[in-house]
Chain A
Amino acid sequence: GQQVMQIPQYQHVQEGEDFTTYCNSSTTLSNIQWYKQRPGGHPVFLIQLVKSGEVKKQKRLTFQFGEAKKNSSLHITATQTTDVGTYFCAVPGAGGTSYGKLTFGQGTILTVHP
């Protein structure tokens, strides 16, 4: 099945610093999704990237999909304490029959010190 590597595992930043997490796949992806899970909460969908080289922004969050569609990144500018949580990338299974079968990365745990 699909596998995706996510780094770093942990990231500690001072409030106001930037943060980036990366996801890498050995195979070409049809799309990639990003989720955020607050401590004690459940994953919440952030965005889906589909096109090669796609860049999408949501306020201070910037999402990129690599040209080869094998990697993706999430960048947060000027972190705030509300950004605390675990950020996951998730990729669909290969082939039409794996529709909706998401494989999640290990996640990056972000802590923000005020």
Chain B
Amino acid sequence: DAGVTQSPTHLIKTRGQQVTLRCSPKSGHDTVSWYQQALGQGPQFIFQYYEEEERQRGNFPDRFSGHQFPNYSSELNVNALLLGDSALYLCASSLTPTYEQYFGPGTRLTVT
């Protein structure tokens, strides 16, 4: 049984560019959440997708957007990248209604 997978593993972008990160949830899970984890910090909730709709959103600007596909996989898009967007981006899936989150290995984004 595959766990949560994310791609790519690492990414280097230039300030002002746009990036798309991808996530496939654990088999049987229909809810996907995205988190940003800066170095030395706990994960910060970006948003959550369920039934192809954004259900919850954290304190992140509109430059951060996402999508969930019918097969429950998800994308995180970040426009107009800033240096401060450099972080580990974690995708987590869960089996509604439980809160238990299964995290993927993350995508390390570096903005130069």
Contacts and interface: CB of A to CB of B under 8 A. Distances in A.
A113 B73 CA distance: 41
Contacts of A99: 55-56, 97, 99
Interface residues of B, number: 26
Given A42-B106, A93-B56, A101 B100 contact: no
Contacts of A42: 90, 103-106
B48 A100 contact: yes
Contacts, number: 64
Interface string A72-99: 0000000000000000101011000111
Contacts of A93: 56
B42 A100 contact: no
Interface string A54-88: 00000000000000000000000000000000001
Nearest to B108: A40
A31 B99 contact: yes
Interface residues of A, number: 25
Contacts of B41: 106-107
B43 A104 contact: yes
Contacts of B50: 100
B42 A107 contact: yes
Given A42-B90, A93-B56, A100 B99 contact: yes
Nearest to A89: B42
B33 interface: yes
Nearest to A106: B42
B77 interface: no
A48 B103 contact: no
A33 B98 CA distance: 11
Contacts of B55: 99-100
By CB atoms of chain A within 10 A, which of B55, B99, B106 has the most? B99
B100 A33 contact: yes
Interface string A21-44: 000000000010101000001111
